[in-house]
Amino acid sequence: MSSLLAFAAPLLLAAEDGAPKEFSDGGVLAEWAWLIPVVPMVAAFAIVFIGKRSPWKGWGLATGSMAFVMIYGAILFISNLNKGITYEGSVAIGEIGTDPYGHTLGLEWGWMVDGLSIMMYLVVGLVGFLVFTYAKGYMEGDIRYTWFFASFALFGGGMLVLVSAPNLIQLIVGWELVGVSSYLLIGHYWEEHENSSAAIKAFLVNKVADVGLFIGAIIISLSVGSFRFTDIMAVIAEGDSQSALARFSFWAGVAIFIGAMGKSAQFPLHVWLPDAMAGPTPVSALMHAATMVTAGVYLIGRLFPFYNTEFFADDTRYIIIIIGTLTLFLTGLLALVANDIKKVLAYSTLSQLGYMVTAMGAGAYTAGLFHLFTHAFFKSLLFLGAGSVIHAVHSNNMSDMGGLRKYMPQTFWTFLIGSLALAGIVPLAGFWSKDEILASIQYAGQNYTTAQGGAELANFVLVVAILGAFVTAFYMTRAVSLTFFGEYKGHGHPHESPKIMTYPLIALAGFSVVAGWINIPGVIKWFTEALEARFLAPGDHHPEAINFGLAAIGTVAAVAGIAIGYFIWFADRETQKERDKFRIPVLYPLLEHKYYIDDFYMDGIVRPLRGPVARAVDWFNGHIIDLVINGTGWLAVRIARVTYWVDQRGVDGVFNASAAATGGTGGLVRLLQTGRIQQYVFLIVAGTVVLVAGFIIF
């Protein structure tokens, strides 16, 4: 197989002298890390049963479980920085058969503690705790307050089951738990048809993509003879081009990536994510920052050596980088025409996920996951900031906003920090992670090997990624201007949110500033070294110094986006519609129709199938299922009647006759038991006479 680029780093981690790099087993911390996914799951079920009788109606249990994960994850993260941890614990559940090669396929439940999972523990715990805290104020007075926190805790717990999984089966269980939780939360306000439809859409799009994940998992596990990631990595480390895994690796890689495309909403399976904004804003914040959409990127990261090793699925990276590039640019443009502030941020998430996936396709494991890490903080900040605005003006539409910086100063300044971090302005967190992605893509273009067109593709991707930075800054300037500057265009009385909502904003703003400082090329490499703690190293390229030229280009693109956006949208107008009248012919109508992809799915697939399929289902239901059910009912009635007759006339008749005979006999015997001594003496004498006569005669 060819490779898009050839990174010189070996598969197995080695120190500079060539000796294998040693990692810690984590000790007691790693042994007890199974509590990380278990505690939120237990909290979710506890809220269902006792939530309404517990303090704070379930919020305390949910937030307490996230606090536990946050503290445990932070301790593990710091310990991993001191000395890398690699630990795998598991409990055997059973066996589910053998593969074609005679290997026994064991079913296990376990927990993985390494650089990748520890990073995710910290992200889910820290962001989850702050979002759960915020949600107490946001959801106050909600009709299903307790149920919300039960589903919310299940959402976080499902993601932790996924990232802790040491095998494909458990990963799929966590994958589906996250999907079910998102369905419940997106459709939280199910009374409105639009919300329930959004939940169904998200669920079904992901189910279509999940077919790919299942097929890929089956191919890999049967090829290796195990579901364990460590066993899969061991086969990859051997590098045998004739192994069963190598022979089927391309199709397995494509199938797994299709599953990742669904969860991480990659083009053209991105259509569910903007509609998912129907759920409460805290759900959007957690979904876009630490759960659900990051699962696909995590999956590629967990199997990265599979995608980055010759003879295996390295050719699949062509598909990954193309899909990621399309996503980062095309979905970012859609934010330009969105009026709903949450949908602007949703399209932004799609674009940033595209950056992460593009980095993975370019062989940049660390850069892609570093952007996942920093993005979690500023994107959760932006969504919670949007929720604070919505909480104040009772509308999602920016046409009902304007001038809110005067009424909501804390929300404004924190939202501005998040926007600048997202735009990639130095020295905020987004600058460092996005710059590392650009540097890694450039390296891919300069160091390809036998991949035909690999350099041209990588260089084209680099240009698109820089344009994407411009678009990001452009649409975020629009959002900030329409929301916070000018005069207020709404009808209510805006006000700053309560402290339980603003304190998490301030904390996330701080992380949005400093989170990128732990991985500055040539200065600090803590994040890079932490991710290297794995059973099999990913072998990607790490920039040894800041590429000031490329960083300057990316920064200029972002500043240009801000400057042009400021020129277009900063000046106030009498109405928001007049202020937001900027349009590019041909492009904007295309964007307003979302590239007609939703129309294609609905008119080209759903409606044509829904008619005949619905009729077929109705016929099958009426003629087959109803026939079986009604026939079963008719037969049951007949059997019941026969059984009743046998029971009443047969069984009961026998027992009743026996009882009557016994009663009659007892009545006769009772006549002899009069209690009169004279009668008893007479009967004895009479009996004696009869006996004597009998002996004499016979």
Identify whether 84 is part of a domain.
no
Residues 556 and 604 in one domain: no
**Most distant CA pair in the chain, distance:** 142
The yes-or-no verdict on residue 98 having pLDDT over 90 is no
Decide if 385 contacts 414 (C-beta within 8 A). Answer: yes
Neighbouring residues of 31: CB distance < 8 A, sequence distance ≥ 6: 87, 89
Decide if 357 contacts 300 (C-beta within 8 A). Answer: yes
Residues 293 and 389 in one domain: yes
The DSSP H or E segment spanning 95 is strand 87-98
Residues 418 and 474 in one domain: yes
pLDDT of residue 672: 65
pLDDT of residue 647: 74
Residues 602 and 582 in one domain: no
Between the alpha carbon of residue 333 and those of residues 37, 44, 289, 326, 373, the distances in Å are 37, 38, 20, 11, 24
Length of the chain measured in residues: 698
Residues 508 and 567 in one domain: yes
Identify whether 385 is part of a domain.
yes
Neighbouring residues of 491: CB distance < 8 A, sequence distance ≥ 6: 400
pLDDT of residue 657: 81
Decide if 69 contacts 128 (C-beta within 8 A). Answer: yes
pLDDT of residue 664: 76
Residues 633 and 531 in one domain: no
Using a pLDDT cut of 70, give the percent of the chain over it: 94
pLDDT of residue 697: 83
SS3 108: strand
| CA angle 689–694–698, rounded 5-degree value | 160
pLDDT of residue 3: 40
Amino acid at 477: T
The yes-or-no verdict on residue 13 having pLDDT over 60 is no
The yes-or-no verdict on residue 35 having pLDDT over 50 is yes
**What does the alpha-carbon distance between residue 396 and residue 390 come to, in Å, rounded to a whole number?**
6
What is the residue-averaged pLDDT of the chain?
89
pLDDT of residue 456: 80
**What does the alpha-carbon distance between residue 234 and residue 242 come to, in Å, rounded to a whole number?**
15
SS3 80: helix
The DSSP H or E segment spanning 106 is strand 104-113
Identify whether 46 is part of a domain.
no
The DSSP H or E segment spanning 512 is helix 499-514
**What does the alpha-carbon distance between residue 534 and residue 233 come to, in Å, rounded to a whole number?**
10
SS3 93: strand
Domain stop point among 558, 586, 614: 586
Residues 428 and 337 in one domain: yes
The yes-or-no verdict on residue 103 having pLDDT over 80 is no
Identify whether 258 is part of a domain.
yes
Least confident of 89-98, 158-167, 305-314: 89-98
Domain of residue 616: give its range: 597-668
pLDDT of residue 665: 78
Residues 582 and 621 in one domain: no
Report the half-sphere exposure of 662 (CA within 13 A, side-chain side). 6
Closest by CA to 229, choosing from 166, 315, 141, 145, is 166
Between the alpha carbon of residue 540 and those of residues 509, 531, 698, the distances in Å are 30, 11, 120
Stretch 134-143: mean pLDDT: 92
Stretch 210-227: mean pLDDT: 93
Residue 664, token pair as written in the block: 């009659």
Identity of the highest mean pLDDT range in 20-24, 56-60, 101-105, 471-475 = 471-475
Sign of CA dihedral 310, 364, 69, 181: negative
pLDDT of residue 76: 96
pLDDT of residue 15: 41
pLDDT of residue 11: 40
| 227-280 pLDDT per residue, tens | 999 999 999 988 888 888 989 999 999 999 999 999 999 999 999 999 999 989
pLDDT of residue 361: 92
Neighbouring residues of 18: CB distance < 8 A, sequence distance ≥ 6: none
Identify whether 2 is part of a domain.
no
Band of residue 18 on the pLDDT scale cut at 50, 70, 90: very low
Using a pLDDT cut of 90, give the percent of the chain over it: 66
pLDDT of residue 141: 87
Provide the terminal-to-terminal Cα distance of the chain, rounded to the nearest Å: 117
Domain stop point among 586, 620, 644: 586
Decide if 576 contacts 393 (C-beta within 8 A). Answer: no
Domain stop point among 586, 617, 634: 586
Band of residue 59 on the pLDDT scale cut at 50, 70, 90: very high
Stretch 69-75: mean pLDDT: 97
Residues 551 and 614 in one domain: no
Residues 331 and 197 in one domain: yes
Identify whether 341 is part of a domain.
yes
Band of residue 9 on the pLDDT scale cut at 50, 70, 90: very low
Closest by CA to 95, choosing from 235, 281, 227, 231, is 227
Please name the residue that has the structure tokens 């759903």. Answer: 606
DSSP β-bridge partners for residue 85: 24
The yes-or-no verdict on residue 115 having pLDDT over 60 is yes
Least confident of 233-247, 285-299, 367-381, 577-591: 233-247
| 655-698 pLDDT per residue, tens | 778 877 887 777 766 666 667 777 777 778 888 888 888 888 87
Number of domains in the chain: 2
Identify whether 80 is part of a domain.
no
Q: Please state the pTM of the whole predicted model.
A: 0.86
| 384-435 pLDDT per residue, tens | 999 999 999 999 999 999 999 999 999 999 999 999 999 999 999 999 999 9
Residue 13, token pair as written in the block: 């981690």
Identify whether 681 is part of a domain.
no
Task: Label each residue of 677-695 as H, E or C.
Answer: HHHHHHHHHHHHHHHHHHH
**What does the alpha-carbon distance between residue 183 and residue 196 come to, in Å, rounded to a whole number?**
9
**What does the alpha-carbon distance between residue 248 and residue 245 come to, in Å, rounded to a whole number?**
5
Residues 574 and 626 in one domain: no
Residues 331 and 210 in one domain: yes
Stretch 16-22: mean pLDDT: 54
